[in-house]
């Protein structure tokens, strides 16, 4: 249950595109990943200039592949994730693992870390799964953070005020640096678990183990008090400094715009472990994979919350145009007028970064933006069906929000048809099909 075994499965399905020509980590690899954002094939860069290591990208590039990684159909995805959040399972701690094949002194310049965008501060590790535990050891946490490479031994870590930030503050209060492991190149289930919005105190490695049917093994790190997946490609052992901070950024985050620069803590790397022929996993900020990994677990939260206020939720889409983070389209079955607005309120409560949400009826395809626009055009009246909430907490990643405080305005659009008017007024008119017309169309299309 490693990234490697998953890539082998995808190779057999012809989902891996091999890039055999030499490319540079500086802009060239990211440029190519970006061009394949829609196709979402896995890209394997075999000849990376100045490095012996191969780079893989777009592993979780579409929903289909995420479902394949969990061995389920799309209609089971939300339920499967929720199950794993509620019933985490302790992974086994093992003495040895593939990641221990090579152990060496830290030298970050030997790792093919990408420089993604024109004005980024430098190379950034973007697929880092970070494990840390509280000083007393009773709280364990796993989350994904961006890491700016400062020199051969030091990184800057962006700590959004969430769980790892809290652990770091607890360590600081105890006057200690925070030990942590940085795992790069792990099975998609581990990436999904690490992006999951489970409460503080839940160890996301246990969520990953539940998703992997008890097949996740962890090893103990040598230089720090931390665990890491035994079959990861690469693990950096590090400490988040209690005292040393640097200016982190600029860096392009999920919206595709530059996030602001902030003072962030320094990570000192104490040791490196990797497989003999490790593959470095890249993840393009604002790319398809970034949107899905960050967004998908929050679709589950929205689906669950809205399910409590209306009889049925058909689908939730944190859409591409909303960067997989700021816009939700939700299709529901409503019983009474007003259900649409309650659904919107539930969605905003479930995903605090959500900025704009639209609720539609079940005949609207939430993944088809033109279809949603049609619903807004024919079923929505701004004077009655619009909610605006001022000065709510939103995402600091939105350039139009107050990026220091995260204060923002939220807008909800209830584009479900009103029950006060006859249903047929809102139905999409059909053209009766004859066999002759259908055959002719197939012929014209060359099918
Ligand atoms: Mn957590």
Whether 270 has a pLDDT exceeding 90, the answer reads yes
pTM of the model: 0.93
In degrees, rounded to 5, the angle at the alpha carbon of residue 197 between the alpha carbons of residues 294 and 30 is: 20
Quick count: other Cβ atoms within 10 Å of Cβ 370? 8
Q: For residue range 304-329, list pLDDT tens digits in order.
A: 999 999 999 999 999 999 999 999 99
Residues of the chain with CATH 3.40.1670.10: 289-421
Q: CA-CA distance, 254 to 116, in Å (whole number)? A: 13
> pLDDT value at position 88?
98
Distance 295 CA to ligand 1 centre (A): 16
Whether 403 has a pLDDT exceeding 90, the answer reads no
**Residue 215 burial by CB count (10 A; 0-12/13-18/19+): exposed, middle or buried?**
middle
Q: Which residue has the tokens 């075994």?
A: 5
CB 157 within 8 A of CB 264: yes
Distance 201 CA to ligand 1 centre (A): 7
**Residue 441 burial by CB count (10 A; 0-12/13-18/19+): exposed, middle or buried?**
exposed
253 belongs to the catalytic site: yes
Could you tell me which of 317, 397, 327 has the C-alpha nearest to residue 146? Answer: 397
- The hierarchical CATH code for the domain 3-276 is 2.30.110.10
Catalytic residue among 253, 339, 385, 414: 253
Distance 204 CA to ligand 1 centre (A): 6
Distance 105 CA to ligand 1 centre (A): 29
Q: For residue range 343-392, list pLDDT tens digits in order.
A: 999 999 999 999 999 999 999 999 999 999 999 999 999 999 999 999 99
Distance 81 CA to ligand 1 centre (A): 15
- Kindly indicate whether the domain formed by 289-421 is annotated with CATH number 3.10.310.10: no
Whether 1 has a pLDDT exceeding 90, the answer reads no
Q: CA-CA distance, 18 to 10, in Å (whole number)? A: 12
Distance 187 CA to ligand 1 centre (A): 18
Rounded (10°) CA dihedral 312, 313, 314, 317: 180
């Amino acid at each position: 249950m490693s990234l490697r075994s998953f890539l082998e499965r995808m190779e057999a399905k012809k989902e891996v595109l091999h890039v055999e020509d030499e490319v540079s980590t500086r802009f060239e690899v990211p440029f190519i990943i970006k061009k394949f954002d829609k196709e979402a094939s896995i890209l394997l860069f075999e000849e990376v200039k100045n490095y012996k290591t191969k780079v893989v990208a777009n592993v979780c590039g579409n929903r289909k592949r995420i479902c394949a990684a969990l061995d389920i159909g799309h209609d089971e995805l939300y339920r499967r994730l929720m199950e794993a959040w509620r019933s985490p399972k302790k992974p086994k701690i093992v003495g040895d693992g593939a990641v221990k094949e090579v152990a060496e002194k830290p030298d970050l310049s030997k790792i093919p870390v990408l420089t993604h965008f024109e004005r980024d501060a430098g190379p950034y590790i973007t697929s880092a799964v970070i494990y840390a535990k509280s000083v007393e050891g009773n709280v364990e946490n796993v989350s994904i953070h961006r890491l700016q490479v400062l020199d051969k031994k030091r990184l800057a870590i962006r700590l959004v005020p969430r769980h790892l930030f809290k652990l770091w503050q607890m360590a600081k209060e105890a006057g200690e640096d925070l030990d942590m492991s940085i795992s790069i190149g792990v099975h998609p289930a581990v990436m999904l678990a690490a992006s999951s919005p489970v409460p503080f105190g839940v160890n996301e490695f246990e969520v990953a183990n539940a998703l992997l049917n008890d097949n996740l093994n962890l090893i103990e790190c040598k230089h720090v008090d931390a665990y890491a997946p035994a079959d990861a490609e690469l693990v950096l052992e590090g400490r988040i400094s209690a005292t040393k901070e640097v200016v982190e950024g600029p860096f392009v985050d999920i919206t595709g715009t530059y996030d602001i620069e902030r003072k962030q803590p320094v990570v000192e790397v104490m040791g490196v472990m990797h497989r003999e022929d490790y593959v470095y996993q890249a993840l393009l900020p604002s790319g398809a994979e970034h949107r899905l990994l960050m967004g998908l677990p929050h679709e589950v939260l929205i689906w669950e919350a809205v399910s409590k206020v209306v009889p049925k939720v058909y689908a939730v889409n944190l859409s591409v145009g909303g960067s997989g983070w700021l816009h939700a389209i939700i299709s529901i079955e409503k019983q009474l007028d007003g259900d649409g607005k309650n659904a919107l309120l539930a969605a905003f409560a479930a995903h605090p970064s959500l900025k704009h949400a639209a609720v539609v009826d079940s005949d609207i395809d939430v993944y088809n933006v033109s279809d949603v626009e049609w619903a807004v055009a024919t079923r929505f009246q701004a004077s009655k069906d619009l909610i605006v909430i001022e000065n709510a907490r939103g995402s600091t990643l939105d350039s139009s929000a107050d990026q220091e405080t995260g204060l923002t305005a939220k807008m909800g659009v209830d584009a479900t048809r009103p029950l006060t008017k006859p249903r047929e007024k809102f139905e999409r008119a059909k053209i009766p099909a004859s066999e002759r017309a259908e055959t002719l169309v197939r012929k014209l299309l060359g099918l």
